[in-house]
Protein backbone atom coordinates (compact mmCIF):
# COMPACT_ATOMS: atom_id res chain seq x y z
CA UNK A 1 0.00 0.00 0.00
CA UNK A 2 1.19 3.53 -0.77
CA UNK A 3 1.30 5.71 2.31
CA UNK A 4 0.70 9.39 1.77
CA UNK A 5 2.72 11.51 4.19
CA UNK A 6 1.51 15.06 4.77
CA UNK A 7 2.45 17.87 7.15
CA UNK A 8 -0.22 19.84 8.98
CA UNK A 9 0.69 22.83 11.14
CA UNK A 10 -1.42 22.72 14.30
CA UNK A 11 -1.34 26.52 14.61
CA UNK A 12 -2.65 26.97 11.11
CA UNK A 13 -4.59 23.91 10.01
CA UNK A 14 -4.80 23.44 6.25
CA UNK A 15 -8.45 22.54 5.77
CA UNK A 16 -7.97 20.90 2.37
CA UNK A 17 -5.36 18.49 3.70
CA UNK A 18 -7.43 17.82 6.78
CA UNK A 19 -10.47 17.04 4.66
CA UNK A 20 -8.48 14.53 2.65
CA UNK A 21 -7.50 12.75 5.88
CA UNK A 22 -11.06 12.90 7.24
CA UNK A 23 -12.39 11.40 3.99
CA UNK A 24 -10.03 8.45 4.33
CA UNK A 25 -11.37 7.74 7.82
CA UNK A 26 -14.96 8.14 6.65
CA UNK A 27 -14.43 5.61 3.88
CA UNK A 28 -12.88 2.97 6.15
CA UNK A 29 -9.15 3.69 5.70
CA UNK A 30 -6.28 4.15 8.16
CA UNK A 31 -4.78 7.53 9.12
CA UNK A 32 -1.98 8.05 11.64
CA UNK A 33 -2.23 11.43 13.36
CA UNK A 34 -0.60 13.45 16.15
CA UNK A 35 -2.18 13.82 19.58
CA UNK A 36 -0.86 15.61 22.67
CA UNK A 37 0.16 12.25 24.22
CA UNK A 38 1.57 10.07 21.41
CA UNK A 39 0.71 9.52 17.73
CA UNK A 40 -2.45 7.49 17.11
CA UNK A 41 -3.39 5.09 14.32
CA UNK A 42 -7.00 5.90 13.47
CA UNK A 43 -9.91 4.12 11.81
CA UNK A 44 -13.71 4.30 12.02
CA UNK A 45 -14.31 2.62 15.37
CA UNK A 46 -17.88 1.52 14.66
CA UNK A 47 -16.88 -0.04 11.33
CA UNK A 48 -15.72 -3.59 12.02
CA UNK A 49 -13.69 -3.97 8.84
CA UNK A 50 -11.97 -0.62 9.30
CA UNK A 51 -10.94 -1.29 12.88
CA UNK A 52 -9.83 -4.83 11.98
CA UNK A 53 -7.26 -3.18 9.70
CA UNK A 54 -5.69 -1.52 12.73
CA UNK A 55 -4.89 -4.89 14.28
CA UNK A 56 -3.30 -6.10 11.05
CA UNK A 57 -1.23 -2.93 10.53
CA UNK A 58 0.12 -3.03 14.09
CA UNK A 59 0.40 -6.79 14.46
CA UNK A 60 -1.70 -6.31 17.58
CA UNK A 61 -3.34 -9.18 19.50
CA UNK A 62 -7.11 -9.08 18.91
CA UNK A 63 -8.01 -9.22 22.64
CA UNK A 64 -6.39 -5.81 23.16
CA UNK A 65 -9.20 -3.22 22.92
CA UNK A 66 -9.04 0.17 21.20
CA UNK A 67 -9.74 3.66 22.54
CA UNK A 68 -12.54 5.56 20.76
CA UNK A 69 -11.62 9.21 20.16
CA UNK A 70 -14.44 11.74 20.17
CA UNK A 71 -14.85 15.48 19.65
CA UNK A 72 -18.08 16.16 21.53
CA UNK A 73 -19.70 15.12 24.80
CA UNK A 74 -22.80 14.02 22.90
CA UNK A 75 -20.81 11.00 21.75
CA UNK A 76 -21.16 9.58 25.26
CA UNK A 77 -24.91 9.08 24.67
CA UNK A 78 -24.12 7.02 21.59
CA UNK A 79 -21.26 4.97 22.94
CA UNK A 80 -22.00 4.35 26.61
CA UNK A 81 -24.76 2.66 28.59
CA UNK A 82 -26.12 3.94 31.89
CA UNK A 83 -24.97 6.98 33.84
CA UNK A 84 -21.53 7.45 35.29
CA UNK A 85 -21.40 10.50 37.51
CA UNK A 86 -17.67 9.97 38.06
CA UNK A 87 -17.16 9.79 34.31
CA UNK A 88 -19.10 12.99 33.73
CA UNK A 89 -17.13 14.88 36.37
CA UNK A 90 -13.77 13.73 35.08
CA UNK A 91 -14.70 14.38 31.46
CA UNK A 92 -15.84 17.88 32.34
CA UNK A 93 -12.64 18.56 34.25
CA UNK A 94 -10.08 17.13 31.80
CA UNK A 95 -11.53 16.83 28.28
CA UNK A 96 -10.25 17.62 25.79
CA UNK A 97 -7.02 16.23 27.21
CA UNK A 98 -4.78 13.27 28.05
CA UNK A 99 -7.45 11.25 29.85
CA UNK A 100 -9.15 8.02 28.72
CA UNK A 101 -12.28 6.93 30.57
CA UNK A 102 -13.67 3.40 30.73
CA UNK A 103 -17.50 3.25 30.60
CA UNK A 104 -20.04 0.47 30.13
CA UNK A 105 -20.47 0.22 26.38
CA UNK A 106 -23.67 0.67 24.37
CA UNK A 107 -24.79 -1.90 21.83
CA UNK A 108 -23.52 0.32 19.00
CA UNK A 109 -19.91 -0.39 19.92
CA UNK A 110 -18.76 -3.65 18.30
CA UNK A 111 -17.09 -6.26 20.52
CA UNK A 112 -14.30 -6.39 17.94
CA UNK A 113 -13.39 -2.83 18.98
CA UNK A 114 -13.49 -3.59 22.72
CA UNK A 115 -11.65 -6.90 22.51
CA UNK A 116 -14.78 -8.72 23.65
CA UNK A 117 -15.27 -6.53 26.77
CA UNK A 118 -18.59 -4.96 27.74
CA UNK A 119 -16.80 -1.73 28.54
CA UNK A 120 -15.43 0.90 26.17
CA UNK A 121 -12.46 3.27 26.41
CA UNK A 122 -13.16 6.87 25.32
CA UNK A 123 -10.95 9.96 24.99
CA UNK A 124 -11.40 13.47 23.64
CA UNK A 125 -7.91 14.61 22.59
CA UNK A 126 -6.79 18.23 22.90
CA UNK A 127 -4.33 18.33 20.01
CA UNK A 128 -5.91 20.66 17.42
CA UNK A 129 -5.11 18.34 14.47
CA UNK A 130 -6.54 15.28 16.24
CA UNK A 131 -9.59 17.15 17.45
CA UNK A 132 -10.39 18.69 14.05
CA UNK A 133 -9.74 15.42 12.23
CA UNK A 134 -12.25 13.57 14.42
CA UNK A 135 -14.78 16.37 14.11
CA UNK A 136 -14.50 16.60 10.33
CA UNK A 137 -14.57 12.86 9.76
CA UNK A 138 -17.88 12.58 11.60
CA UNK A 139 -16.90 9.12 12.89
CA UNK A 140 -15.72 7.88 16.27
CA UNK A 141 -12.04 7.28 15.70
CA UNK A 142 -10.60 4.09 17.17
CA UNK A 143 -6.91 4.79 17.68
CA UNK A 144 -4.20 2.88 19.47
CA UNK A 145 -0.70 4.30 19.60
CA UNK A 146 0.71 4.23 16.06
CA UNK A 147 3.67 1.94 16.77
CA UNK A 148 4.10 -1.63 15.59
CA UNK A 149 2.96 -3.88 18.45
CA UNK A 150 5.76 -4.27 21.01
CA UNK A 151 7.71 -1.15 20.02
CA UNK A 152 7.83 2.11 21.98
CA UNK A 153 4.89 4.44 21.28
CA UNK A 154 5.69 7.04 18.61
CA UNK A 155 6.24 10.63 19.71
CA UNK A 156 7.21 11.97 16.27
CA UNK A 157 5.97 11.37 12.72
CA UNK A 158 9.36 9.85 11.95
CA UNK A 159 8.71 7.09 14.49
CA UNK A 160 5.36 6.41 12.82
CA UNK A 161 6.99 6.31 9.38
CA UNK A 162 9.56 3.79 10.72
CA UNK A 163 6.80 1.45 11.91
CA UNK A 164 3.85 2.09 9.59
CA UNK A 165 4.96 3.22 6.14
CA UNK A 166 3.33 0.92 3.58
CA UNK A 167 0.77 -0.31 6.12
CA UNK A 168 -1.56 2.71 6.37
CA UNK A 169 -3.21 5.11 3.92
CA UNK A 170 -1.90 8.33 5.39
CA UNK A 171 0.47 9.66 8.05
CA UNK A 172 -0.03 13.23 9.26
CA UNK A 173 3.11 14.90 10.53
CA UNK A 174 2.10 17.43 13.18
CA UNK A 175 5.43 17.76 14.96
CA UNK A 176 6.57 16.28 18.25
CA UNK A 177 3.91 15.01 20.68
CA UNK A 178 3.79 17.40 23.61
CA UNK A 179 3.54 14.95 26.51
CA UNK A 180 5.23 11.89 25.08
CA UNK A 181 3.47 9.31 27.30
CA UNK A 182 0.07 7.74 26.60
CA UNK A 183 -3.07 9.04 28.31
CA UNK A 184 -4.02 8.23 31.89
CA UNK A 185 -6.71 5.52 31.78
CA UNK A 186 -9.38 5.69 34.49
CA UNK A 187 -12.13 3.11 34.98
CA UNK A 188 -15.30 4.95 36.04
CA UNK A 189 -17.68 1.98 35.99
CA UNK A 190 -17.46 1.46 39.79
CA UNK A 191 -17.94 3.60 42.91
CA UNK A 192 -14.33 4.78 43.00
CA UNK A 193 -12.27 5.77 39.95
CA UNK A 194 -9.46 3.28 39.31
CA UNK A 195 -6.33 4.22 37.38
CA UNK A 196 -5.56 1.40 34.95
CA UNK A 197 -2.64 3.17 33.29
CA UNK A 198 -0.76 6.10 34.91
CA UNK A 199 -0.10 9.11 32.69
CA UNK A 200 0.33 12.87 32.63
CA UNK A 201 -2.79 13.32 34.80
CA UNK A 202 -1.86 11.92 38.19
CA UNK A 203 -3.76 10.19 40.99
CA UNK A 204 -3.76 13.55 42.82
CA UNK A 205 -5.25 15.33 39.79
CA UNK A 206 -8.07 12.76 39.69
CA UNK A 207 -8.66 12.94 43.45
CA UNK A 208 -9.05 16.71 43.28
CA UNK A 209 -12.15 16.14 41.17
CA UNK A 210 -13.63 12.98 42.65
CA UNK A 211 -12.34 12.94 46.24
CA UNK A 212 -11.32 9.31 46.12
CA UNK A 213 -9.31 7.43 43.50
CA UNK A 214 -6.95 4.47 43.46
CA UNK A 215 -4.44 2.62 41.29
CA UNK A 216 -5.26 -0.78 39.83
CA UNK A 217 -3.42 -3.06 42.27
CA UNK A 218 -1.58 -4.85 39.50
CA UNK A 219 0.07 -1.79 38.00
CA UNK A 220 3.61 -1.89 39.27
CA UNK A 221 4.30 -5.59 39.33
CA UNK A 222 5.26 -8.12 36.73
CA UNK A 223 2.22 -9.80 35.13
CA UNK A 224 2.00 -13.54 35.87
CA UNK A 225 -0.06 -16.43 34.51
CA UNK A 226 -3.05 -15.96 36.80
CA UNK A 227 -2.83 -12.25 37.31
CA UNK A 228 -4.86 -10.09 34.96
CA UNK A 229 -4.42 -6.32 34.71
CA UNK A 230 -7.75 -4.60 34.07
CA UNK A 231 -6.45 -2.88 30.93
CA UNK A 232 -5.71 -5.87 28.70
CA UNK A 233 -2.87 -4.02 26.97
CA UNK A 234 -0.97 -3.63 30.23
CA UNK A 235 -0.12 -7.32 30.32
CA UNK A 236 1.98 -7.23 27.16
CA UNK A 237 5.65 -6.45 27.16
CA UNK A 238 5.33 -3.01 25.60
CA UNK A 239 7.92 -0.47 24.74
CA UNK A 240 10.51 -3.14 24.38
CA UNK A 241 13.89 -2.02 23.11
CA UNK A 242 15.84 -4.74 21.29
CA UNK A 243 18.69 -4.65 23.83
CA UNK A 244 18.30 -5.82 27.42
CA UNK A 245 17.41 -2.89 29.64
CA UNK A 246 18.26 -2.82 33.35
CA UNK A 247 17.06 -0.10 35.71
CA UNK A 248 19.22 0.95 38.64
CA UNK A 249 17.48 2.22 41.74
CA UNK A 250 19.09 3.91 44.71
CA UNK A 251 21.00 7.00 45.77
CA UNK A 252 22.42 8.84 42.74
CA UNK A 253 26.11 8.28 43.52
CA UNK A 254 25.61 4.54 44.00
CA UNK A 255 23.56 4.27 40.81
CA UNK A 256 26.29 5.98 38.79
CA UNK A 257 28.96 3.74 40.28
CA UNK A 258 26.95 0.55 39.63
CA UNK A 259 26.09 1.54 36.06
CA UNK A 260 29.72 2.44 35.30
CA UNK A 261 30.82 -0.95 36.61
CA UNK A 262 28.19 -2.90 34.64
CA UNK A 263 28.85 -0.89 31.47
CA UNK A 264 32.63 -1.43 31.68
CA UNK A 265 32.13 -5.17 32.16
CA UNK A 266 29.73 -5.64 29.24
CA UNK A 267 31.85 -3.43 27.00
CA UNK A 268 34.99 -5.46 27.81
CA UNK A 269 33.07 -8.58 26.82
CA UNK A 270 32.54 -7.04 23.39
CA UNK A 271 28.92 -5.92 23.74
CA UNK A 272 27.47 -2.60 22.64
CA UNK A 273 26.37 -0.69 25.71
CA UNK A 274 23.92 2.21 26.10
CA UNK A 275 23.36 4.39 29.16
CA UNK A 276 20.25 6.43 29.95
CA UNK A 277 21.52 9.43 31.90
CA UNK A 278 20.11 12.87 32.70
CA UNK A 279 21.55 16.31 31.91
CA UNK A 280 22.77 16.35 35.50
CA UNK A 281 24.67 13.04 35.36
CA UNK A 282 25.75 12.86 31.71
CA UNK A 283 29.40 13.60 32.47
CA UNK A 284 29.63 11.06 35.30
CA UNK A 285 29.47 8.05 32.96
CA UNK A 286 32.50 6.60 31.22
CA UNK A 287 31.82 3.72 28.86
CA UNK A 288 29.30 3.05 26.10
CA UNK A 289 26.88 5.31 24.26
CA UNK A 290 25.71 7.80 26.85
CA UNK A 291 22.48 9.71 26.18
CA UNK A 292 20.46 12.10 28.27
CA UNK A 293 16.74 11.51 28.62
CA UNK A 294 16.11 15.05 29.92
CA UNK A 295 16.67 17.12 33.04
CA UNK A 296 15.53 16.28 36.56
CA UNK A 297 14.75 19.99 36.92
CA UNK A 298 11.81 19.52 34.53
CA UNK A 299 10.08 16.15 34.76
CA UNK A 300 8.22 16.78 31.51
CA UNK A 301 11.47 16.55 29.57
CA UNK A 302 12.02 13.05 30.98
CA UNK A 303 8.50 11.89 30.13
CA UNK A 304 8.88 13.41 26.68
CA UNK A 305 12.30 11.86 26.08
CA UNK A 306 11.63 8.28 27.15
CA UNK A 307 10.24 6.65 24.00
CA UNK A 308 12.63 8.60 21.78
CA UNK A 309 15.69 7.36 23.69
CA UNK A 310 14.48 3.74 23.63
CA UNK A 311 14.11 3.95 19.87
CA UNK A 312 17.54 5.58 19.52
CA UNK A 313 19.18 2.68 21.33
CA UNK A 314 17.47 0.30 18.90
CA UNK A 315 18.97 2.24 16.01
CA UNK A 316 22.36 2.08 17.73
CA UNK A 317 21.80 -1.68 18.15
CA UNK A 318 22.76 -1.57 21.82
CA UNK A 319 22.94 -5.05 23.37
CA UNK A 320 22.66 -3.79 26.94
CA UNK A 321 21.06 -0.59 28.18
CA UNK A 322 21.48 0.70 31.72
CA UNK A 323 19.13 3.36 33.09
CA UNK A 324 18.73 5.52 36.15
CA UNK A 325 15.24 5.51 37.73
CA UNK A 326 12.84 8.42 37.82
CA UNK A 327 10.43 8.02 40.71
CA UNK A 328 11.17 11.44 42.13
CA UNK A 329 8.36 13.58 40.72
CA UNK A 330 4.63 13.58 40.12
CA UNK A 331 5.06 12.06 36.66
CA UNK A 332 7.34 9.42 38.18
CA UNK A 333 4.63 6.74 38.39
CA UNK A 334 3.84 7.06 34.70
CA UNK A 335 7.47 7.20 33.63
CA UNK A 336 8.50 4.22 35.76
CA UNK A 337 5.47 2.17 34.68
CA UNK A 338 6.68 2.45 31.05
CA UNK A 339 10.36 2.02 31.89
CA UNK A 340 9.72 -1.09 34.03
CA UNK A 341 7.78 -2.69 31.19
CA UNK A 342 10.54 -1.82 28.74
CA UNK A 343 13.00 -3.49 31.11
CA UNK A 344 10.83 -6.58 31.58
CA UNK A 345 10.89 -5.55 35.30
CA UNK A 346 14.68 -5.99 35.44
CA UNK A 347 15.76 -3.80 38.39
CA UNK A 348 19.00 -3.61 40.37
CA UNK A 349 18.63 -2.01 43.79
CA UNK A 350 21.92 -0.42 44.84
Annotated binding site for L-threonine: 37, 69, 123, 143, 183
Q: Which does 201 bind (CB under 5 to 8 A by kind): ligand TXA, Mg ion, none?
A: none
Helices marked H in 140-202 — which ranges? 157-164
Sheet holding 320-323, edge to edge: 289-292, 273-277, 320-323, 244-249, 347-349
| Region from 6-14, 142-150, 212-220, 308-316 binding ligand TXA, contact rule CB under 6 A | 142-150
Radius of gyration of the chain (CA): 20
Which CB sits closer to Mg ion, 163 or 187? 163
Which CB sits closer to ligand TXA, 233 or 288? 233
Nearest alpha carbon to residue 181 among 10, 324, 342: 342
Nearest alpha carbon to residue 241 among 315, 331, 176, 161: 315
As annotated, the binding site includes: 37, 60, 64, 69, 119, 123, 143, 145, 153, 183, 197, 239
Contacting ligand TXA within 190-249 (CB under 6 A): 196, 230-234
Which CB sits closer to Mg ion, 236 or 271? 236
Give the max Cα distance, the chain.
62
Taking the C-alpha atoms of residue 125 and residue 121, their distance in angstroms, rounded to an integer, is 13
Q: Which does 38 bind (CB under 5 to 8 A by kind): ligand TXA, Mg ion, none?
A: ligand TXA
Residue 145 touches Mg ion, criterion: CB under 5 A: yes
Residue 67 touches ligand TXA, criterion: CB under 6 A: yes
| Region from 15-23, 59-67, 317-325, 335-343 binding ligand TXA, contact rule CB under 6 A | 59-67
- CB-based contact 338:293 (threshold 8 Å): no
| Region from 30-38, 45-53, 84-92, 299-307 binding ligand TXA, contact rule CB under 6 A | 30-38
Report how far apart, in Å, the C-alpha atoms of 109 and of each of 47, 76, 87, 113 are.
9, 11, 18, 7
- CB-based contact 204:191 (threshold 8 Å): no
Taking the C-alpha atoms of residue 233 and residue 246, their distance in angstroms, rounded to an integer, is 22
Which CB sits closer to ligand TXA, 194 or 258? 194
Which CB sits closer to ligand TXA, 143 or 256? 143
Residue 333 touches Mg ion, criterion: CB under 5 A: no
Report how far apart, in Å, the C-alpha atoms of 73 and of each of 77, 176, 209, 319 are.
8, 27, 18, 47
- Residues of this chain that bind ligand TXA (CB under 6 A): 35, 37-38, 40, 64-67, 100, 102, 114, 117, 119-121, 123, 125, 143-145, 182-183, 185, 196, 230-234
- Residues of this chain that bind Mg ion (CB under 5 A): 145
Amino acid sequence: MDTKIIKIDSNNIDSIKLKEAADILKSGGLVAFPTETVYGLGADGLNREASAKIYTAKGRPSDNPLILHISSMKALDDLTEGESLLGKKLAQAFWPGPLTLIFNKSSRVPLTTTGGLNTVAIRMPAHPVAYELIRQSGVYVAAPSANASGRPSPTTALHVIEDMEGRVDMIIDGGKADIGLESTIVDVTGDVPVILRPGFLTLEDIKKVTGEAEYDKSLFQKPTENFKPKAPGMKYRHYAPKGQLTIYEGESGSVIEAINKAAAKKQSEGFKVGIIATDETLKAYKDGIIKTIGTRKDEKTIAGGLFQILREFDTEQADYIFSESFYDNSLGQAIMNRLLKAAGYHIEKV
